[in-house]
Structure 1
Amino acid sequence: MDFRLVRRLGHFLAVAEEGHFGRAAARLGISQPPLTAQIQALERELGVRLLERSGRGTRPTREGEALLPLARRLAENAAALEDLARELRAGRHAPVSLACVTSALFDYLPPLVRALQGARPDAAIAVRELDTADAVEALRRGEVDLALLRLDRERHPIRLRPLGTDVLVVALPLGHALLDAPDPLPLALLADAPMLVLPRAISPAYSDAMVAACRDAGFAPRAAREVGSAMAQLGFVAAGLGVALVSAGMARLRPPGVAFRALAGPIHAVGVALAWNGERESEAVQLALAHADRLFPMPAVGEPGASP
Structure 2
Amino acid sequence: MRRFIGAAAVFLTAALALSACGGGSDPLSATPSSAPASSGGASAKVVVGSFNFPESVLLGSIYAQALTAKGVQVEEKPNIGSREVVYDQIKSGGLTVLPEYIGSLLAFLDKNSTAKTKEEILAGLTAKLPPELEVLDPAEAQDNNSLTVTKETAGKYGLSTISGLVKVAKDFTVGGPPEFKKRQEENFKQVYGLEFKEWKSTGDTTADAIKSGTVQVGNVFTTDPKIVLDDLVALQDDKNAFGSDNITPIVYKPGVNDTVVSTLNAISAKLDTATLLSLMKRISVDKDDPPAVAKDWLTQNGLV
Structure 2 residue identity aligned to 1:187:
S
Structure 1 residue identity aligned to 2:129:
R
2:31 equivalent in structure 1:
none
Confirm or deny: 8 A CA contact 1:188 1:218 kept in the other structure: no
Residues 1:151 and 2:114 are matched in the alignment: no
Aligned equivalents of 2:189, 2:54: Cα separation in 1: 21
Using a 3 Å threshold, how does the CA distance of structure 1 residues 125 and 186 change in structure 2: closer, same or farther?
A: closer
Aligned equivalents of 1:288, 1:222: Cα separation in 2: 47
Using a 3 Å threshold, how does the CA distance of structure 1 residues 126 and 101 change in structure 2: closer, same or farther?
A: closer
1:172 equivalent in structure 2:
149
Residues 1:295 and 2:270 are matched in the alignment: yes
Residues 1:237 and 2:207 are matched in the alignment: no
**Which SS does the other structure have where 1:219 is aligned?**
coil
What does the per-residue CA deviation read over 1:207-264, in whole Å, with 9 as the maximum and x for residues that have no partner?
34x742453222234442235x4x14334334422121333123x2459767233325
Confirm or deny: 8 A CA contact 1:146 1:285 kept in the other structure: no
2:18 equivalent in structure 1:
none
How many Å apart are 1:275 and its aligned residue? 1.6
TM alignment of 1:29-108, pairs within 5 A: 90-92=41-43, 94=45, 96-100=47-51, 102=53, 104-105=55-56, 108=59
Using a 3 Å threshold, how does the CA distance of structure 1 residues 226 and 186 change in structure 2: closer, same or farther?
A: closer
The percent of aligned pairs where both chains have the same amino acid is 8
Residues 1:130 and 2:81 are matched in the alignment: yes
Stretches of structure 1 lacking an aligned partner (at least 5 in a row): 1-87, 298-308
What does the per-residue CA deviation read over 1:12-70, in whole Å, with 9 as the maximum and x for residues that have no partner?
xxxxxxxxxxxxxxxxxxxxxxxxxxxxxxxxxxxxxxxxxxxxxxxxxxxxxxxxxxx
Aligned equivalents of 1:127, 1:115: Cα separation in 2: 15
Confirm or deny: 8 A CA contact 2:191 2:239 kept in the other structure: no
Residues 1:196 and 2:147 are matched in the alignment: no
Residues 1:225 and 2:203 are matched in the alignment: no
Stretches of structure 2 lacking an aligned partner (at least 5 in a row): 1-36, 107-124, 273-304
Residues 1:248 and 2:222 are matched in the alignment: yes
Aligned equivalents of 1:131, 1:258: Cα separation in 2: 28
Using a 3 Å threshold, how does the CA distance of structure 1 residues 169 and 248 change in structure 2: closer, same or farther?
A: same
**Which SS does the other structure have where 1:196 is aligned?**
strand
How many Å apart are 1:195 and its aligned residue? 0.9
Structure 2 residue identity aligned to 1:261:
A
**Which SS does the other structure have where 1:247 is aligned?**
coil
Confirm or deny: 8 A CA contact 2:46 2:72 kept in the other structure: no
**Structure with larger RCO (C-alpha < 8 A, sep 6+):** 2
How many Å apart are 1:265 and its aligned residue? 1.8
Using a 3 Å threshold, how does the CA distance of structure 1 residues 143 and 262 change in structure 2: closer, same or farther?
A: same
How many Å apart are 1:136 and its aligned residue? 0.5
The size of the alignment, in residue pairs, is 203
2:236 equivalent in structure 1:
263
**Which SS does the other structure have where 1:171 is aligned?**
strand
Using a 3 Å threshold, how does the CA distance of structure 1 residues 112 and 122 change in structure 2: closer, same or farther?
A: closer
Question: TM-score when scaled to structure 1?
Answer: 0.50
**Which SS does the other structure have where 2:223 is aligned?**
helix
TM alignment of 1:5-24, pairs within 5 A: none
Structure 1 residue identity aligned to 2:105:
L
1:140 equivalent in structure 2:
91
What does the per-residue CA deviation read over 1:141-198, in whole Å, with 9 as the maximum and x for residues that have no partner?
4332211233013432433234455544333357x53344446334332522111144
Aligned equivalents of 1:238, 1:94: Cα separation in 2: 44
Question: TM-score when scaled to structure 2?
Answer: 0.50
Which one has a larger percent strand, Structure 1 or Structure 2? 1
Aligned equivalents of 2:65, 2:160: Cα separation in 1: 35
Aligned equivalents of 1:278, 1:226: Cα separation in 2: 35
